[in-house]
Structure 1
Amino acid sequence: MFSDRPQLAVEVLRDLLGVELPATPLVRVEKSTFNTRPSDDINSDLILVLGPPQTAAHAIILEVQQDKTKDPRQLARYAAALWLMLRCDVTVLLVCPDRGVADHYAQPIDSGLSGYRLQAQVLGPDDIPVITDPQEAVARPALAIMAVMAHGRDRKVVEAFAMALGELRDEHAAKYYEYAYSMSAPDVRRLLEEIIMTSTTWPVYSPFAREHYGRGQAEGEAKGKAEEAVRMLLLVLGARGFDIPDDMRTRISTCADLAQLESWATRAVTAQSVEDLFDETGGQHR
């Protein structure tokens, strides 16, 4: 989500967390692997750089933290290494759906180097607005995604998000559901799945919905082919002048096995009677 729209990280820091950043319309995604000179390579989730390529004005290291497994000192190391590489100020922004995780990383980080303590900027549930108005979700889709992530146990939040997806027409709309689904807790995902499966106004994006939608689509296609095969078989029999008894017509009309119907159609071309279609000597079972 942030890599598709880098300006979003700037808006989060400025508008939601009150961080002062250089005023520039230039925001780009930087390569997320950078060398610590002379240590090993570091891999962060996302790096954004403000300003022109030749003269970086500010850098943002963005991490999405679902739990407390990352050593906070590693974040200080990220910031120091990127400062050495770009020679500009660096902000570390963490997006934490869980309040406890957000509080954990909001504490000043003692890097182990005298005089160097990092204060990461943390976007937690308390900083993300609860969006239950579909029109507000349409106007601020990125915040609506994060509202689902942080407050999705409130059904109205998920319903507003789902309704907004039906109205959105921008280039990122197809990805919004994927973002919300991937960042949400399992119970919120189940609610998203429940709501999306009852919607007919927008495409299906979640793994659950794709599976069931695809299965239903395939079953529908198979049924349509079988119905067409039944129609063609009855047309062939009628064209040959056969009088089809009701029980045989029912047997043909209720058959959903496309291979069986095709076999009967092949026989219908040369059969001397309708009974020959079901003759065991022709390889078919009565």
Structure 2
Amino acid sequence: MVSSPHEAMHRIFQEYPGLFSRVSELLGVPITAPTSVSVMPTDLTESRPVERRVDTLLRLDVEGDESFLLAVEAQGKKGEDKPASWAYYLSYLYTKYRMPPLLLVVCQDRATAEWASRTVPIGPRAWPALTLRPLVAGPHNMPVITDVAEARKDLVLTTLAAITHAADPDIGAILKTLSAALRDAPEIIADPLVEFTAQGLGNRPAAQQWRNLVAVDLSFYKSAISEEIRDEGRSEGLSEGRSEGIAQGILLFLAQAGIDVPDEARERITTCRDIDTLNRWLLRAPTARSAEDVFAGE
């Protein structure tokens, strides 16, 4: 079954194909930004009944250089059959389109990213006929962006970086930075990036942190996730639902940072029903060093 993180990790390149040139530069393989991009069919099935389907396939045309095909694969875990599938994809694409293909694998954990980064020789050890050499983007080489000014410079790259760092101990600060940067962006830009982030975090604890950040001020966001939060508020009582959600977000931030929360502090957070107070505590939680730091100045 295809997961939401899986979809987000490759579909973001369909929606923002120029992202690849920025990612390739980060990965040490600078490729000139394309002058045009075409979304290609992803079905690589042969006439025989064997279905092979790449996640995303793009044609990138580069001014003054050769055009090439970019196959993007979202990889959630190691798979012993994947290198053979990837090699098939690349050889099939080269045969069908007579254009050089390039494979980009996007991961959310370091072990999978390091596994996917291996160069795989195909053929006899003395003389491999082919060599599989994918580019890999993951938490091992994507930047941890916690500066709002830096995030604003490239919101799409910041979104992908946040998705790849979904399991990072600093994910609270990363998401807080992204949320703050998106507040100043036009709705047409912010809305899809809010959605990609929500999809990319899947069912990880960070997903609830993102929902809570979005919920702090719904007026900033008009996307589907905001509507979902609004609907939850209407069905359960807006004030009650939001206060409980924000309280859980505060506790998640503290737990993610490994901070022990005494029973008295936990009760103070979970029983508070003042949205403004909870929002202040939520904004302090990602940088708190102790539970008491959340209540500083109260």
Q: Which runs of 5+ in 2 are unaligned?
A: 1-11, 239-298
Partner of 2:233: 216
Q: Give 1:101 shift.
A: 0.4
Residues 205 and 171 (structure 1), Cα distance of their counterparts in 2 relative to 1, 3 Å cut: closer
Equivalent residue in structure 2 for 1:191, among 185, 197, 209: 209
Query: Are residues 1:118 and 2:132 paired?
Result: yes
Partner of 1:148: 162
Count of residue pairs brought into register by the alignment = 217
Residues 204 and 88 (structure 1), Cα distance of their counterparts in 2 relative to 1, 3 Å cut: same
**Cα contact 1:65–1:95 (8 A) shared by 2:** yes
Residues 162 and 111 (structure 1), Cα distance of their counterparts in 2 relative to 1, 3 Å cut: same
Query: Are residues 1:203 and 2:221 paired?
Result: yes
Partner of 1:27: 37
**Cα contact 1:50–1:59 (8 A) shared by 2:** yes
Residues 202 and 112 (structure 1), Cα distance of their counterparts in 2 relative to 1, 3 Å cut: farther
**Cα contact 1:196–1:204 (8 A) shared by 2:** no
CA distance in 2, matches of 1:87, 1:2: 22
CA distance in 1, matches of 2:233, 2:109: 36
RCO higher in structure (CA 8 A, sep ≥6): 2
Query: Are residues 1:47 and 2:57 paired?
Result: yes
SS of 1:171 mapped into structure 2:
helix
SS of 2:87 mapped into structure 1:
helix
Partner of 2:293: none
Residue identity opposite 1:45 in structure 2: D
Equivalent residue in structure 1 for 2:114, among 103, 122, 143: 103
Q: Which runs of 5+ in 1 are unaligned?
A: 222-286
- What RMSD in Å do the two structures reach over aligned CA positions? 2.9
Identity across matched positions, percent: 24
Q: How is 1:1-286 mapped onto 2 (pairs within 5 angstroms)?
A: 1-13=12-24, 15-19=25-29, 21=31, 24-36=34-46, 40-51=50-61, 57-69=67-79, 71-111=82-122, 114-152=128-166, 153-154=169-170, 155-169=172-186, 171-184=188-201, 186-203=204-221, 205=223, 210-217=227-234
TM-score by length of 1: 0.67
Larger Rg: 1
Residues 16 and 170 (structure 1), Cα distance of their counterparts in 2 relative to 1, 3 Å cut: farther
Q: Give 1:136 shift.
A: 2.0
Q: Quick check: 65-74 or 80-89, which moved more?
A: 65-74
